[in-house]
Amino acid sequence: MYARRRRTYFALMGTCLVLFVSAWSFVRLWSVEAAVGMAFAAMFLPPLAAWAANRRGPDDRWWDDPTGDRQSDEWWDELDGKRKPEP
């Protein structure tokens, strides 16, 4: 779970760095338009990387952990359909 998200984050951020550095180090020598396009594409990768690293996986339970407040936990369980309301 965590390792998969971490690998995805580093892959996206690595791609971002490669695009940005290569755009302004050697691609600009052949085509400034291509370098601007590569930098523009690299601009969208950090937010995607953050989204991928922080998204909840199907096996993650960290948002569903009990809070310690019995009444609040019962209320959330009822809303989530985990427990039927008592008559």
Scan for tokens 């779970």, then name that residue: 1
Instruction: Enter the tokens of residue 49.
Output: 């990387």
Show pLDDT as tens, one digit a residue, over the chain (87 residues): 678 888 999 999 999 999 999 999 999 999 999 999 999 999 999 999 999 888 876 666 566 677 778 887 788 778 777 766 666
Computed on alpha carbons and rounded to an integer, the radius of gyration of the chain in Å comes to 22
CA distance 70 to 6: 34
> Residue 35: how many CB atoms within 10 A of its CB?
20
Instruction: Enter the tokens of residue 50.
Output: 């953050």
Cα dihedral 66, 69, 70, 72 in deg (nearest 10): -80
- At 33-51, the pLDDT tens digits run 999 999 999 999 999 999 9
